Amino acid sequence: MREFNIGIIGLGNIGLEVYKNIKKNSSDIKKKTGFKLNILKVSAKNLRKKRGIKIPNKLLEKNYLEIIKNPKINIVVELIGGADGIAKKVVFDSIKNKKHVVTANKALIAKHGDQLSILAEKNGVNLLFEAAVGGGIPIIRSIKQGLIANKLHHIYGILNGTTNYILTEMEKRNLNFKDVLKDAQKLGYAEANPTADVDGHDAAAKISILSSIGFGTKIINNGFLVEGIRKIEIEDIKFAKDLGYKIKLLAISERLGKYIKQRVHPCLIPINLDVANIDNVTNAIVVDGNPIGRTIYEGPGAGKGPTSSAVISDITSIMLGNDEFSFGLSPSAKKNVHLFNFNNHISKYYIRFLTKDVPGVLSTITSNLAKNKISVANLIQEPSNNGNANVMLITHFSKESNIQRVLKNLNKQKKLFKKIVMIRVRDLKKL
Ligand SMILES: NC(=O)c1ccc[n+]([C@@H]2O[C@H](COP(=O)([O-])OP(=O)(O)OC[C@H]3O[C@@H](n4cnc5c(N)ncnc54)[C@H](OP(=O)(O)O)[C@@H]3O)[C@@H](O)[C@H]2O)c1
């Protein structure tokens, strides 16, 4: 075969850009792969929508089911989105119809990736999703192919551009979360419903995928800690800075023997740590393994240009005949995995108490910490507005379950505390 025919389902931000970039670069693609790439059909919900470019009528397909059944189409490109619904039907049915599938859909892959990869192997087709993690950064192919000779033990990084942008702007402009979120929505960096980003679910889906690929395990897509950035205030960012830290939302996965310790939460990270100075919408992923050691991948984590670059890379990989396993190994070789009990996590903890101006606050904090075997490394008290005060401390290494007990006790004391914020401190000396 000297030609490949694709059908693109979904012509939104990403689908349209993939369409344009394939058209623009078709002669390069032919030179680099040896094959002609034809876009045979495209589909969207509303084919009458103005999209700023002229798409020939003969390409427009009203019913997406016709694309996944079309015998001339080799590759279906799913760019609708969502873990279930139409996107799920498109991907499952295309594979059953023995079409290769390329998707950017992290929610779908994190939820159904194990089942889909089995189906793809059974039907002798590829299911590729480079664009689902890290936008334009070729992190999936780097792990699957570039690092194939390694046993990985640690993958972590900044996997969500929206939250990284918000945290960067809070620091730069001395603003609170809600104000920066509003600006980010106006600028198109955050969605009208920002939940998936700001509450950590987007980063969680991405680390679920990377962890499964990196450690050769079945996907862990629930039951692990997922915390977002809503609770973080400018005081936390300033205090962290004074002590030599930055606050970042990290997605982290470690292999600890037969356990995987996977989680998403904000961290205070030392200012000189590899990902500390990755700002704005940029993503960065650190992958640590043997024999290579530590590697770091940085780049634009979302947006139509970078994401279309990753989608087209998957399409051309299929054209080049790279018979890749979706997750880097045969689905039957993927191991079942135990999730580490996070109550046993050991970390330093940052805690800020917004306290009322009443006697006994400090002694209540310190006695509760002592009762739970938690000692304090730094403590600062600063007046806040309206006679309240901020008490901010960083603990020595402590156990998560002990910290949670303290927070539960103190959160009940409404007469003393207006708000308590806890953020884990990242210390690579002890993980
Ligand atoms: N945006 C990013 O920066 C980014 C980055 C990485 C990955 N992704 C992933 O890429 C995927 C697409 O994202 P996006 O931002 O391009 O979304 P989007 O702009 O909302 O586009 C979704 C597209 O799906 C189409 N669609 C909806 N229902 C359909 C149906 N029943 N049949 C056919 N088409 C249908 C819509 O048609 P209409 O246009 O007619 O409404 C629209 O063209 C998602 O999985 C997302 O997670 C996005």
Q: Is the confidence at residue 1, as pLDDT, over 70?
A: no
Selected residue with higher pLDDT from 265 and 358: 265
Instruction: Determine the distance separating the centroid of ligand 1 and the alpha carbon of 104, expressed in angstroms.
Output: 9
Instruction: Determine the distance separating the centroid of ligand 1 and the alpha carbon of 307, expressed in angstroms.
Output: 12
**For residues 119 and 123, what is the distance between their CA atoms, to the nearest angstrom?**
6
Rounded mean pLDDT, 143-154:
97
Residue 53, classified by CB atoms within 10 Å of its CB into exposed (0-12), middle (13-18) or buried (19+), is exposed
Selected residue with higher pLDDT from 99 and 301: 99
For residue 383, the model assigns a pLDDT of 81
Q: Is the confidence at residue 359, as pLDDT, over 90?
A: no
User: Considering 41, 88, 111, 206, which one is annotated as catalytic?
Assistant: 206
**For residues 223 and 174, what is the distance between their CA atoms, to the nearest angstrom?**
35
pLDDT single digits (tens) 364-381: 999 999 999 999 999 999
Note the residue count of the chain. 431
For residue 431, the model assigns a pLDDT of 45
With a 6 Å cutoff on the Cβ, whether 295 touches ligand 1 is no
> Is 206 among the catalytic positions?
yes
For residue 166, the model assigns a pLDDT of 97
Q: Is the confidence at residue 138, as pLDDT, over 90?
A: yes
Rounded mean pLDDT, 195-209:
98
Tokens 């002590």: give the residue: 243
Q: Which of 107-111, 112-116, 189-193, 370-374 has the lowest mean pLDDT?
A: 189-193
Q: Which of 105-109, 311-315, 396-400, 427-431 has the lowest mean pLDDT?
A: 427-431
pTM (2 decimals)? Answer: 0.96
With a 6 Å cutoff on the Cβ, whether 240 touches ligand 1 is no
Selected residue with higher pLDDT from 322 and 348: 348
Tokens 């689905």: give the residue: 331
Contacts of residue 28, Cβ cutoff 8 Å, sequence gap at least 6? none
For residue 429, the model assigns a pLDDT of 62
Helix ranges (H only) for 53-160 are: 64-69, 85-96, 106-123, 139-141
Rounded mean pLDDT, 238-264:
96
Proportion of the chain above pLDDT 70, given as a percent: 99
Selected residue with higher pLDDT from 181 and 382: 181
Q: Is 10 helix (H, G, I), strand (E, B) or coil?
A: coil
What domains, with CATH codes, occur in the chain?
A: 3-132 (3.40.50.720), 139-298+327-339 (3.30.360.10), 343-425 (3.30.70.260)
Atom of ligand 1 nearest to the CA of 135: 6
CB 133 within 8 A of CB 110: no
Element of type H or E holding 400: helix 400-411
